[in-house]
Structure 1
Amino acid sequence: MGSAKDHLDVLIIGAGFCGLHTLNKLRKSGFSAKIYERSSGLGGVWQANRYPGARVDIETPAYQLSDKELWQDFDWGERYPGRSELLRYFNHVDKKLGLSKDIEFNTTVVSSRFDESRQLWCVKTDTGLSTSTWAKYFILCTGFTCTKYIPEYKGLDKFKGIWHHSALWPEDTVDLTGKRVAVVGTGASGVQIIQTIGPHVSHLTVYQRTPNMALPMRQCSSSDEKINDGTKWTFPKKDEYERIFQKMRTTFAGIRVDFTPQKFQDATPSERRALYEDIWAYGGFSFWLANYIQTLFDQEANDEAYGFWCEKTRARIHSEEKKELLAPMKPVHAWGTKHPSLEQSYYEVFNQDNVDIIDVRESPIIEMTETGIRTEKEGVIDFDVIILATGFDTRTGGMLNIDIRNGQGKSIQQHWENGIRSYLGMMTNSFPNLFWCYGQHSPAAFSNGPHCGEVQGDWITELLLNMRETGREVVEAEKGSEDAWGKNIKEMWHASLYPKTESLYQGNNIPGRKPEPIYYFGGIPAYVAALKNSKVNNYQGFDFK
């Protein structure tokens, strides 16, 4: 089993933004650290996102690490980079920092237990080795979109054509040209797939449960500042980067834009219209996150924002029937309380004669057959390929896929059976020296991943340095601090319009799942203030041994 002398200071799980940044910080601080990564390369979710049209929805240069050593000699080619460019960036990061030498690829962690006698985590993987890895600190950088959700469709195993989940797209190209294709699901992956393959397949049928209130991406390349609809967006110059990264620390989502300071109720109708037009033209998440913040709390403000979105979107759709399916006059939920996706030609694709849409709330999927999909009203429609863009189990994430047990043998799944418990969205009571980043009870899904990962990775590194300097060996969250953090999250959540909507934010995007607020809804500045408050008060809220 190895001796305590052979242990690592820190074992990190996951080689995405959070894991890579944290590994770099810890190594520079003199800790022995490694990453175990289940895939064959760097990039986290971008190793898995191979489906047609996969690209990020945070614009350049925000979606990258803020280390000048990394960005000063890397140039992005698109406002919203695609998968290949993101992998090029991760290779650049590795070349600059030499991280791969401390990463074990194709290694999936299956269990970990805290040994109280040694005060170490004993971690086992699926590599078939009889030995275990011992680590003083165990950090999970597994994210919240690594547990795919595949509905239990009757007969799926009988389908004789090709089927793939968007998160399990094969490495080899799937030729969809001239094929009859079904896409089940219209979340972010579904939107990107639909707009990409629609012009090339012989026929596309989209199975939609909830309309995606998607926003125009306004994509452009570095060689063409003119965006496809005639508006303009300029690539920031390198001498602007530091100012941009500083601003991101002050915005709700850790991106370049933030809510307008004016209150919705204090603005005149003409002022509100002018703001809507301006942030709509800017593109991306601006209409969501540079709008009036009251839009997410006040029904009147929300209705007006939805009305504007509906007006702009319906104007792009020709069929009256499809208008009502894709952008109904009466919203199915409050605007912005599901994560809006960014699109380039999503609505125009539905104007094609070869693209149909089925509302599965009105006509549920009954089963998959040998040749296609049977719904209640349409009967069986035959397909060559079925694509399941049915999303992720965000409550489980990657963290709860691992059998993690404390010194008393209690699993974290048992600890959270009545709801998630954490302090600062990074630690939980009775699980010593266990941390996680960009996951439950942190800003995660409400924030820019690289930025959130830097905030948390820096804070964890500072805590471990403090413990090393003061001779403290073990830390865990106090139960009382867990209670207070959970209460804070619930109060913010239930003051908003979000609880009324089935979404990944509260886990009930999975049918039958009991809703609970999974992420911190206070924004990056308030989260950073909470971290700082704990630190300056000798890491208040944590118990040291």
Structure 2
Amino acid sequence: MGSISLDKYYDVLIVGAGFSGLYLLNSLRKSGYSVRLLEAGAKAGGVWYWNSYPGARVDLEVPQYQFTAEETWKQWDWKQRYPGRDELVAYFEHITKVWALRSDIDFNTRVESAHWDKDMSQWRIVAQAGEQQFYRSKFLCLCTGFAAKPFMPPYPGLGSFKGTIHHTSHWPQEKVDLTNKRVGVIGTGASGVQAIQEIGKVAAHLTVFQRTPNNAIPMRNPTLDQEQNQALRDNFVESRKTQLTTFGGFLYDFVQGKTTDLSDAERLAVYEKLWSGGGLQFQLGNYNDMMFDPAANAVAYQFWREKTLPRIKGPNKAEILAPKNPIHPFGTKRISLELDYFETFNQPNVDLVNLLGTPIVQMTPEGIQTSDGVNHELDTLVMATGFDAITGGITQIDLRGASGQRITEKWQNGVYTYLGMTVHDFPNMFFVYGPQAPTAFSAGPVSVEFQGAWIVDCLRYMMQNNLTTINATAEAESEWKAHVDDIGGRGLFHQAQSWYFGANIPGKPREALLYMAGLPAYKEKCLESSQHGYRGFDLSSVGT
């Protein structure tokens, strides 16, 4: 790894400059630690730096999707209720200036490996920034997020395609002109829905290849003027207090009770109110039995379908996009928010291919061949095929623990963590917004700030007690996995083939990758550990 004298040494090294990384960098610096943040991109923003595809936009409305600290919002105005990608990148630039973070960030620096040095009780990190860079640190904090490793299905003949191929997660920063092009989009998840809406407006012809229909809900995205922004600031403190009490850290929460106890008129009134509010309220502000009781779920799906069908012309397309019999329970795969997604398929330049009926056979030099023998000729292929979600951002780094075991080897038959922040045999390593934590089932900033504060408090505790090493016990890790798996199997979510359970990646173990009991329950579990001297961890000093 080179001479130790050439290594850059810090108390804490952070990987990733999204919400998690920036929060930890600011908090740890204020606590007196020497900290360095390594970011593969040229700017802060994490996933929002990389996801520059047409239509990229967050699906959580402001002020829920921003930091809590007053200095970060008192002079910031949002342009839209649901900010687009460019506005989010500008917000992260604003954060780096307000907190004066840039001097402690190495941009264009991708971490390749991190190995625990037992003799030194330190992490040794190798990164690539044009040439290899070497770092050492007491602690390692992985803030790589849940959507850092794109998934490219291994279609036969993919390399033979003569046109251009872009994955939505690695879209060129200089943008791509698709005007008058023949474009194919594979995938109708969140990025696919957003890209399809925009590409359909400019392409000569757009062919959408859909495997699973997206139960997308109207976004309702008005612009925000100065008066509305001031109202957001005036109410921000109370809004954030509300977020800290709800299941997912949102401004709305599941309603206790049973859908099936309501009369048809009462239920319809509730549904209409949630629907008119836009966003994820219809899913996450609904009666909580919707995600547990198949009958309640079916009623919600029927309401969604009745709202959606009038927007789709033609019975064939309608059945593909909003089938009478759902492919999976409503809301058990990630629901996207849309602006004019369903109307896009009414355009004469847009075709829809149902991959459940006519799957892709191979890629050809000219485009895509499906099982019905049709050759779909394309100039550009957009891969909206998702991610090796939740774990991929961690496993793509060559991480090796105290025993020398790689994280990929440890997790090859299933993920094991303690509290969704640590891993046994990987001392002094923490991660935020990753596996077996609320993560994608929560409002990012709220979840991130709790985990980040917990980690900072842990490091302070260690400093105050002259402790140098913390390592989750194997027993605590096993108990946490069993707890996460148990919760994941209680509702309807496990009935869908979703990335929540790793089902989108061939060969990946099928298991609950997220903590599905909600943020309040998760916080309680984490605080039970910290308030009892970090129960579930082995803590030690050098030489003990």
TM tier, shorter chain?
over 0.9
Deviations 1:463-486 (A, max 9, x none): 000100011110011112111111
Deviations 1:102-137 (A, max 9, x none): 000111111111111111111111236566211000
Q: Cα 1:267–1:178, aligned 2, differ >3 Å: closer, same or farther?
A: same
Aligned mate of 1:476, from 471, 480, 488? 471
Residue 437 of structure 2 corresponds to which residue in structure 1?
442
Q: Cα 1:523–1:349, aligned 2, differ >3 Å: closer, same or farther?
A: same
Q: Cα 1:394–1:130, aligned 2, differ >3 Å: closer, same or farther?
A: closer
Residue 74 of structure 1 corresponds to which residue in structure 2?
76
Check the 8 A contact 1:279/1:286 in 2, yes or no: yes
How big is the alpha-carbon RMSD for the aligned residues of Structure 1 and Structure 2?
A: 1.7
Q: Indicate yes or no: 2:399 matched with 1:399.
A: no
Deviations 1:186-238 (A, max 9, x none): 0001000111111221111100000001011011101499xxxxxxx998431
How far the C-alpha of 1:491 sits from its partner, in A, is 1.0
How many residue pairs match? The answer is 538
1:396 and 1:6 map into 2 onto residues whose CA distance is: 27
Q: Cα 1:304–1:14, aligned 2, differ >3 Å: closer, same or farther?
A: same
The AA in structure 2 aligned to 1:479 is A
Q: Indicate yes or no: 2:144 matched with 1:145.
A: no
The AA in structure 1 aligned to 2:523 is V
Aligned mate of 1:428, from 398, 423, 426? 423
Residue 510 of structure 1 corresponds to which residue in structure 2?
505
Residue 309 of structure 1 corresponds to which residue in structure 2?
304
The AA in structure 2 aligned to 1:456 is Q
Report 1:276-355 matches (<5 A): 276-355=271-350
1:421 and 1:31 map into 2 onto residues whose CA distance is: 29
Aligned mate of 2:494, from 486, 490, 499? 499
The AA in structure 2 aligned to 1:472 is L
Report 1:73-92 matches (<5 A): 73-92=75-94
Deviations 1:408-431 (A, max 9, x none): 211111111221001110001111
Residue 228 of structure 1 corresponds to which residue in structure 2?
none
How far the C-alpha of 1:262 sits from its partner, in A, is 3.0
Aligned residue for 1:315, secondary structure, equals helix
How far the C-alpha of 1:396 sits from its partner, in A, is 3.4
How far the C-alpha of 1:4 sits from its partner, in A, is 11
Residue 181 of structure 1 corresponds to which residue in structure 2?
183
Aligned mate of 1:62, from 61, 64, 68? 64
Residue 460 of structure 2 corresponds to which residue in structure 1?
465
Aligned residue for 1:381, secondary structure, equals strand
Q: Cα 1:428–1:180, aligned 2, differ >3 Å: closer, same or farther?
A: same
Residue 216 of structure 1 corresponds to which residue in structure 2?
218
Deviations 1:379-404 (A, max 9, x none): 21111111111000115321101111
Check the 8 A contact 2:207/2:353 in 1, yes or no: yes
2:482 and 2:72 map into 1 onto residues whose CA distance is: 39
How far the C-alpha of 1:3 sits from its partner, in A, is 5.6
Point out the more displaced range, 152-161 or 238-247. 152-161
Residue 209 of structure 2 corresponds to which residue in structure 1?
207
What TM-score does the superposition give when structure 1 sets the normalisation length?
0.96
The AA in structure 2 aligned to 1:26 is L
Residue 115 of structure 2 corresponds to which residue in structure 1?
113
How far the C-alpha of 1:512 sits from its partner, in A, is 4.3
How far the C-alpha of 1:437 sits from its partner, in A, is 0.4
Report 1:359-370 matches (<5 A): 359-370=354-365
Identical pairs, percent? 44
Residue 28 of structure 2 corresponds to which residue in structure 1?
26
2:59 and 2:93 map into 1 onto residues whose CA distance is: 20
2:360 and 2:132 map into 1 onto residues whose CA distance is: 46
How far the C-alpha of 1:270 sits from its partner, in A, is 2.0
2:132 and 2:477 map into 1 onto residues whose CA distance is: 36
Deviations 1:57-115 (A, max 9, x none): 01011111111110011010100000111111111111111101000011111111111
Point out the more displaced range, 249-258 or 24-33. 249-258
How far the C-alpha of 1:529 sits from its partner, in A, is 1.1
2:232 and 2:397 map into 1 onto residues whose CA distance is: 43
Query: Can you give the 5+ residue segments of structure 1 that lack an aligned partner in the other structure?
Result: 226-232
How far the C-alpha of 1:406 sits from its partner, in A, is 1.5
Aligned mate of 1:13, from 1, 12, 15? 15
2:75 and 2:226 map into 1 onto residues whose CA distance is: 21
Residue 267 of structure 2 corresponds to which residue in structure 1?
272
Residue 526 of structure 1 corresponds to which residue in structure 2?
521
Aligned residue for 1:199, secondary structure, equals helix
Q: Cα 1:453–1:490, aligned 2, differ >3 Å: closer, same or farther?
A: same
How far the C-alpha of 1:263 sits from its partner, in A, is 2.7
2:133 and 2:266 map into 1 onto residues whose CA distance is: 66
Residue 166 of structure 1 corresponds to which residue in structure 2?
168
Residue 229 of structure 1 corresponds to which residue in structure 2?
none
